[in-house]
Chain A
């Protein structure tokens, strides 16, 4: 049963520390998304990649957030330095897009990383 995996599942850190979240997309999927969920803002798209290349990171605070795909099986989201307002659940999702058109298949979401910055 293919699924998206995320690590860690929970992270508590102090303000100013670096945080790295990891995601393993479903094998064969060519698009990876990072979302952030908070009570106030709901689910927001931070960034996404197609074939490992960043397509859109306009939802991400550029001064402290960075997202990469070192290879097709790993996506990372890094926050440096972290701040209390970054506390949220961060979701990774993967999907398949062909010729610029979303597949009839849906995006699959990972279980999320719950981040708490003290």
Chain B
């Protein structure tokens, strides 16, 4: 059974820092991996999707990498801003279902 874990569970940093959020999964047979952002009381917004054949994806200040063989993905946030404060969730696609990690709650203070 696929299990997805995220470390750390919470992170509080000053504005401007570069951040790394970690995601690990137990079964490397995945179609893709996604990183989502969730703001308090809101739904999920997809940030990046990495196909299983890809190693990384970039969008603005965000960069996500994927190492299927080791069952790991990282989300790199450059020059963090207070507006980045949210919960970040990674999810792997197992056939056509998303299996979510536990999330990392990020707070960026001015």
A: residues with CB less than 8 A from B are: 31, 33, 42-43, 45, 48, 50, 56, 91, 93, 95, 97, 100-102, 104, 106-112, 114
Contacts and interface: CB of A to CB of B under 8 A. Distances in A.
Nearest to A103: B96
A5 B97 CA distance: 20
B49 A56 contact: no
Interface stretch (B13-21, B59-67, B77-85, B98-106): B98-106
Contacts of B102: 42
Interface in B24-58: 31-32, 34, 36, 41-46, 49, 51
Nearest to B91: A43
A104 B97 contact: no
Contacts of A48: 96-97
B43 A102 contact: no
Contacts of A91: 43-44
**Which of A43, A95, A97 has the largest count of B CB atoms less than 10 A from its CB?**
A43
- Bin chain B's interface residue count: 20 to 34
Contact of A101 (B31, B42, B43, B99): B31
Would you list the 7 A-B pairs with minimal beta carbon distance, nearest first? A43-B100, A106-B46, A109-B44, A109-B43, A111-B43, A97-B96, A102-B96
B46 A107 contact: yes
24 contacts: A43-B91, A43-B100, A48-B96, A48-B97, A50-B96, A91-B43, A95-B96, A101-B31, A101-B96, A102-B31, A102-B93, A102-B95, A102-B96, A104-B32, A106-B46, A106-B49, A107-B46, A109-B36, A109-B43, A109-B45, A111-B42, A111-B43, A112-B42, A112-B43
B89 interface: yes
A12 to B, nearest CB: 15
A45 B49 contact: no
A106 B51 contact: no
A20 to B, nearest CB: 19
Contacts of B96: 31, 48, 50, 95, 97, 100-102
Contacts of B44: 91, 93, 109
